[in-house]
Amino acid sequence: MEVRDGLVEAAAVCDHRPGSRRFLGPRTPGGADTMTLRWGILGCARISRRGLIPGIEGSRTGELAAIASRDGAKARAWGAEFRIPRPHDSYEALVADPDLDAVYIPLPNELHAPWVKAAADAGKHVLCEKPLALDAAEAAAMVAHCRDRGVILMEAFMWRHQPRTRGLLGHLAGGLIGELRLVRASFSFPIEAGDWRLDPARGGGAVWDVGCYGVSTARLFAGTEPEGIRARAHFGPSGVDMSLAATLSFPGGVLASIDCSFEQPFRCAYELVGTRGVIEVPDAYLPPAASPALAHVRTIGSGSDSDAGTDRSRVLEFPAVDQYAEMVDAFAASVAAGRLLAPAEDGLAQMRALDAVLAAARD
């Protein structure tokens, strides 16, 4: 299965830099569908420290080879701390590094497009933090640019690559809770004053930063794109959405209720409701790496109407893994295939949905 709008065709899985035909070989003990990728990271962001750096280190397919900062001393300090061989004192130097295969971009949102395009121009495959772009038009240009240069572009929604996510997709397909009718998702936390995510010019706002998870969740489990969207928001002094609630409708009778906030206590959960039961998913996008990820299932028993006394409940357990490592290996599989492989996020379709949500909230 492949992701359509974000499809990137490649004639062969190889080093796309001009004048080079160095094929990336399979990594032992991986098979033909896994690749050894040498990674570079643009910027010393918090998400790199707690997410992708340990993810690359824990993956089967990744090797962290370089990191860049506009502060050369900071790049060298991170290089020493994480044993990264080549610290660069500019983003340009990392992108031009001939010994890299893939670049991770965790920069502020307004910098995604220029650096995705620069990395693609240098023949690098790109994993870009969410949201992919500032709007759908910018995302379309990024996707086209990477397609023209024969490199993979993937949006970094790590939660899609959890064993729990794959398992729940299987349970839904198997009819565990009947026909899916509702997806509910909440993600919120209080943000500090002065955070760049409060700046509208930089792509700030709750829906871009955390509401995007709920939209991605609804789209994944509905298996299609929304056909109707309504939303309301509380906008802060800077003009960005501080709290937002949206209702999405999908073909096939599936609804989604999504809320997000920069001014509410921490919440991170989603719920799948079907005609025969419900699945509640705690720690939805940030599951513990050292203990099993859980999902609570309740299915309708012999009762009817409001009688839940006969309902059957159980807990599903899924392997404890580093979801970032899973994402790194999934990215390598997409590179090997020459196209995005499900459940990778289709960044263009996601941005179209996010644009529609925010437009509805402002209407």
Catalytic residues, by residue number, are 130
CA gap 3, 153 in Å, rounded: 11
| C-alpha 177: how far from chain center | 26
Distances (CA, A) of 230 to 26, 213, 241, 249, 316: 47, 17, 15, 9, 33
Per the structure block, which two tokens stand in for 287? 């599951």
Distances (CA, A) of 39 to 11, 102, 307: 22, 5, 55
Residue 325 backbone zone (phi > 0: left; psi -120 to 50: alpha; other: beta): alpha
Among candidate residues 165, 267, 258, the one with its CA nearest the CA of residue 173? 165
What's 345's DSSP letter? B
Secondary structure class of 277 (helix, strand, coil): strand
CA gap 261, 246 in Å, rounded: 12
Q: Largest Cα–Cα distance of the chain, in whole Å?
A: 70
CA gap 262, 301 in Å, rounded: 39
Q: Quick check: 256 and 182 in contact, CB under 8 A?
A: yes
Among candidate residues 161, 155, 37, the one with its CA nearest the CA of residue 106? 155
At position 202, the amino acid (one-letter code) is R
- 198: number of Cβ within 10 Å: 20
In a 10 Å sphere around its CB, with 0-12 CB exposed, 13-18 middle and 19+ buried, how is residue 36 labelled? Answer: middle
CA gap 339, 142 in Å, rounded: 15
